Chain A
């Protein structure tokens, strides 16, 4: 029971953050919620053996990223919504920027995007990123560099005024 309490506390503290990371990876809030649920469910399965909070965070990151990459490899398992139905009103100014930025982010390859999200959003070190992605630090560095190039190129195509190339990282 005490274990479940600890898990509930972790869930309350980290679920929103994990969902945000997942959203930056997949670009869809419902899918981000699915990934978050998958990550916490798998963490719960091994929770009795987890003693370190830092380990739990790293485990969550790793599951989210791998689950997202797996989804990309198995598109036939993915839900296909008929249309994007906005279920709530959006403010005009913010939504336009968001859609453009999201589209640009969507053009960055999955592993490069994962590097960018972990390094610049989740504030992971190169070593932590490498551990989460299951690759070497050298791969993280090269993927990060290429990811930034891709993001610059994507933003340059759609809205060059939104972010200048020099501003990025």
Chain B
């Protein structure tokens, strides 16, 4: 080790005198300090600006969450199960949605009614299917010429869009596991103001899937609390015949 050090010392012979002054060093140091402060301030401003940009749409989204006052539209003469479903439905929907939840719209736990989403009245249905979600979907939609879109890949939920008549479209969403009751939420726009592009999920698809999930949770929770079994499977055709149109 000493030899290596001696070698280095030999390299350092003829060392010129130090011409470095403290003044330029301090001047450069202050410049570095100023630059770092500037970068820190600019970074903070950028983070705040980005945060506010993100906060605006988030706040808008939060405003869309349903208020509890929506429960006022739930009539008193519903059965406990119907009331549970109705509350879940209202809670999961935007505050601009107004449902007709009167007693005559119900058949056991099935609901065939109308909803006013703020742009006009639409047919709306909620049905529960014990098994075989996809079969129910095909039976219910009848001439389902539209495309099936996966909504949430992890739970197998799907949404279909099909054209009932020129200018009239329907969206139908299902979710749930094959071993338990599936929930089907259907929304039909009789006079669509916005043409649904076949290759894309319907505009309200995300909202329908959310409604279906929340209603399904409430339904299963209710049955579990009552110790009841889910109702027998019905075909989509039967449900449509029984439910009718609004």
The minimal Cβ–Cβ distance linking B232 to chain A, given in whole angstroms, is 68
Give B1-15 interface residues, CB cut-off 8 Å to A. 1, 3-5, 7-8, 10-15
A-B contact count (CB 8 A): 92
Question: In the complex the two chains form, is A15's CB within 8 Å of B18's CB?
Answer: yes
A44-B14 contact in complex given A120-B4, A163-B7, C-beta closer than 8 Å: no
Chain A residues in 8 Å Cβ range of B56: none
Of all A-B residue pairs in the complex, the 5 with the closest CB atoms, nearest first, are: A44-B29, A41-B28, A45-B32, A120-B4, A41-B29
CB–CB A11/B22 < 8 A: yes
A43 to B30, CA, bound (A): 10
User: Interface residues of A: mostly helix, strand, loop or mixed?
Assistant: helix
Pairwise interchain contact A29-B16, C-beta atoms closer than 8 A: yes
- B36 to chain A minimum Cβ distance, whole angstroms, is 6
9 further contact pairs, Cβ within 8 A, besides A45-B30, A87-B16: A11-B22, A33-B19, A41-B28, A42-B32, A90-B14, A94-B10, A101-B7, A148-B4, A151-B4
Give the docked Cα–Cα distance between A38 and B29 (Å).
8
Q: Range of interface residues on chain A? A: 35 or more
Question: Is A97 on the interface with B (CB-CB < 8 A)?
Answer: yes
Residue of chain A at shortest CB distance from B17: A16
- Asked if B3 and A167 sit within 8 Å, CB to CB, the answer is yes
* Contact flags A21-59 to B (C-beta < 8 A → 1, else 0): 001100001000100111011111101000000000000
Contact A120:B18 (CB < 8 A) given known A40-B29, A42-B32, A94-B13: no
User: Is A20 engaged at the interface, CB distance under 8 Å to the other chain?
Assistant: yes
Are A169 and B1 in contact (CB-based, < 8 A)?
Answer: yes
- Which residues between 40 and 99 of chain A lie within 8 Å of chain B, taking CB atoms? 40-45, 47, 87-88, 90-91, 94-95, 97-98
Q: Which of B4, B10, B19, B24 has the most CB of A within 10 A?
A: B4
List, in ascending order, chain A residues with CB within 8 A of B5's CB: 120-121
The answer to whether the Cβ of A102 comes within 8 Å of any Cβ in the partner chain is yes
Q: Is the CB of B26 within 8 A of A91?
A: no
Chain B contacts to A: CB under 8 angstroms: 1, 3-5, 7-8, 10-16, 18-20, 22, 24-26, 28-33, 36
A101 and B10 within 8 A (CB): yes
Query: Do A44 and B11 form a contact, CB below 8 Å, given A120-B1, A120-B5, A163-B3?
Result: no
Q: How many angstroms between the C-alpha atoms of A47 and B19 in the bound complex? A: 22
Which residues of A have CB within 8 Å of B12?
20, 23-24
Provide the residues of chain B in CB contact with A1, threshold 8 Å: none
Contacts of A37 in B (CB 8 A): 20, 24-25, 28
Which of B4, B24, B33 sits near A169, CB closer than 8 Å? B4
Flag if B25 contacts A24 (CB, 8 Å): no
Distance (whole angstroms) from the CB of B34 to the closest CB of chain A: 9
Q: Cβ of A45 and Cβ of B10 under 8 Å apart?
A: no
Judge whether B29 and A47 touch: CB under 8 Å.
Answer: yes
A133 partner residues in chain B, CB cutoff 8 A:
none
What's the Cα separation between A104 and B30 when bound, in Å?
A: 38
A66 to chain B, nearest CB (A): 15
Contact of A43 among B1, B16, B29 (CB under 8 A): B29
Alpha-carbon distance A65/B149, docked complex (angstroms):
59
> Which of B3, B7, B30 has the largest number of chain A CB atoms within 10 A?
B7
Contacts of A8 in B (CB 8 A): 22
Interface residues of A in 151-169 (CB under 8 A from B): 151, 163, 167-169
Which residue of chain B lies nearest to A46 when distances are taken between CB atoms in the complex? B33
Chain B residues, Cβ within 8 Å of A117: 8
Tell me which of B4, B8, B25 contacts A44 (CB under 8 A): B25
Asked whether B8 lies within 8 Å of A15 as measured between CB atoms, the reply is no
Does A127 count as interface, using CB distance less than 8 angstroms?
no
Q: Known contacts A4-B26, A37-B25, A98-B11; decide if A168 and B32 are in contact (CB<8 Å).
A: no
Q: In the docked arrangement, what's the CA distance between A140 and B223, Å? A: 68
Q: B24: nearest residue on chain A (CB-CB)?
A: A37
